[in-house]
Amino acid sequence: MNIQAIQLKANAILPEYQTAGAAAADVHACLDESVTLQPMERRVIPTGFALAIPLGYEVQIRARSGLSSKHGITMINGVGTIDSDYRGEVGVLVINLGQEVFTIEPGMRIAQMVLSKCEQITWQLVDSLDETDRGSGGYGSTGIKEA
């Protein structure tokens, strides 16, 4: 699928897939100088690009597994959503959950993005819902061991 993108800054790097089978494209930090994150510090890291996402789609910005597992660098909001009608610069909302200071360098791959199809919901108010085996069992009600 073709997605229109513009570079808002000369040093912006458009997202790139690292392998032929990659589901997500890596997103690069568009910085003029390094940014240091203290433990538990949050920042919005600029990417230097904007997108025109088609109606009926979203772009999800996700943490990179290596940065998360090795350094505790993850997304403030878990997964960020870029809506189809947003035309501003894509930012990556990071937090340092690690115990060490972490430095984000210009051009560093700091997140990944996935294009996903999505639909808006039309709510149908009803008097009751259909019955299932689980019913209204709460969080954890199915257990953690194999049946």
CA distance 8 to 52: 13
What is residue 147's predicted lDDT score, i.e. its pLDDT?
A: 63
**% of the chain beyond a pLDDT of 70:** 99
pLDDT of the residue at 23: 96
Residue 128, domain member (yes or no):
no
Residue 3: both structure tokens together: 């997605």
Q: Give domain status of residue 80, yes or no.
A: yes
Q: Where are the beta strands (DSSP E) in the chain?
A: 4-7, 25-28, 35-37, 42-52, 57-62, 73-75, 80-82, 89-96, 102-104, 109-117
Q: Is residue 21 part of a domain?
A: yes
Please state the pTM of the whole predicted model: 0.86
* Phi, psi (rounded to 5 degrees) for 59: -110, 130
Q: Does some domain include residue 66?
A: yes
- Report helix, strand and coil shares of the chain as percent, to nearest 5: 5, 35, 60
Q: What is the pLDDT of residue 48?
A: 98
- Residues spanned by the domain of 81: 4-117
pLDDT of residue 36: 98
Q: What's the pLDDT at 82?
A: 97
**pLDDT of 144 over the 90 cut:** no
Is residue 104 within 8 A of residue 37, CB to CB? The reply is yes
Q: Residue 111 falls within a domain, yes or no?
A: yes
Residue 46 included in any domain = yes
CA distance 136 to 45: 41
**CATH code for the domain of 41:** 2.70.40.10
Query: Closest Cα partner for 82 from 111, 113, 107?
Result: 113
pLDDT tens column, 54-107: 999 999 999 999 999 999 999 999 999 999 999 999 999 999 999 999 999 999
Count of domains for the chain: 1
